[in-house]
Amino acid sequence: MKPTVRFVIITALRDRLFVSLYGLLAITFVIAIYLSGGAIAETDRMAVVYAAGGARVMLMMGFTVFVAFHLERLYETRELEALLSRAISRETFIVAYWIGMAFNAALILLPVAAVIFFFQLSMSGAVLWMGSVLLESLVVIAFAIFCGVSLERAIPTIFVTVGFYALARLIGFFVGITHGIVKSDVNQVADPIMEYLSYLVPRLDLVGQTRWLVYGPDSLNIGGVIAAQLAVYVALLLAAAMFDLRKKHF
């Protein structure tokens, strides 16, 4: 497993994932600080919320695009076949690939942590935010791996993963609509669909809250449930990716 993990990290370096994302994050931070300068109050809060919120979106998009094109290239150049021809099972490859990307994600999150800690608004909130964004990254990476392995093409992988991410960030809103008082004809059809869909989509709208950075963690006691759900969801996605890879004929 170790060589595959190292392979993912080295190819991330080769494909300039770190340089690109560090550069994008730096631009995001500069824009956040610039925009917050126009606020007539709570400038530091504005800066940290813009920086963290912008960084979260950049990271998710960056990981999605990287995994999509990386896996497409593995298929096209037959590198994947070469990797699998060694003494490594397809299941181990999926896990190793995800661990390699998880390591990359943790490394890339470091400058974000540095910027957030620099503002020193809420230490406990910052730790919680970093942890939850890392978890969110791991789910997105797992989903991108699942799509990349199944679809073998970068563009549909990116579209589907971005769609999934948007849905996961909005699922709480959709569930809220299903419990609304005012019902139209569309609701009669859409509500049950959303209800069932909500059982299959993780609640990413509950993680990565920038208000934690400003006010500290909430007193809600659902952190453990959310972390458990995301961990289970990663396992589910990786198992699905293993299932798909097993069906591939090289």
Partner 1 sequence: MSGFLANGILILALIVQVNLSASLKDVRAYAEIVEVAPTNRYLAAAAFGDNELLYRRLVMDLQNAGDTGGRWSALEDYDMRRVVDWLNALDSLDHRANHHMVLAANYFSQTQAMPDLVHLVKYIQSHVAGDPERKLYWLNQALLMAERRLEDKDLILDIADQLGSYDFPAMTPVAYILPAKVYEKWGDYEGAATYMERAIDKLGARISADERQVLEAYVTAMRRQTSP
Q: Which residues bind partner 1 (CB under 8 A)?
A: 35, 38-42, 45-46, 49-50, 53, 56, 166, 169-170, 172-173, 176-177, 204-211, 213-215
- In 10 A of CB 4, how many CB atoms? 20
Residue 73, token pair as written in the block: 């290239």
**Between residues 50 and 97, which has the closer beta carbon with respect to partner 1?**
50
Min CB(46)–partner 1 separation in Å: 5
Taking Cα atoms as reference points, which of 124, 132, 149, 150 lies closest to residue 60?
Answer: 132
Distance from C-alpha of 54 to C-alpha of 229, rounded to nearest angstrom: 25
Minimum CB separation of residue 227 from partner 1 in Å reads: 16
Let me know how long the chain is: 250
Comparing CB distances to partner 1, the nearer of 78 and 183 is 183
Closest to partner 1 by CB, 60 or 160: 60
Closer residue to partner 1 (CB): 122 or 150 = 122
CB 63 within 8 A of CB 139: no
Smallest gap, in angstroms, from Cβ of residue 42 to partner 1?
5
Determine the Cα–Cα distance for residues 92 and 114; give it in Å rounded to an integer: 33
Radius of gyration (Cα) for the chain, nearest Å?
A: 19
DSSP, res 16:
T
Residue 50 beta carbon to partner 1: minimum distance, rounded to whole angstroms: 6
Q: How far is the CB of 142 from partner 1 (least distance, A)?
A: 19
Distance CA 145, CA 133 (A): 18
> Given phi > 0 = left and psi -120 to 50 = alpha, else beta, which region is 217?
beta
* Residue 138 or 214 having the CB closest to partner 1: 214
CB of 153 or CB of 211, closer to partner 1: 211
* CB 122, min distance to partner 1, A: 12
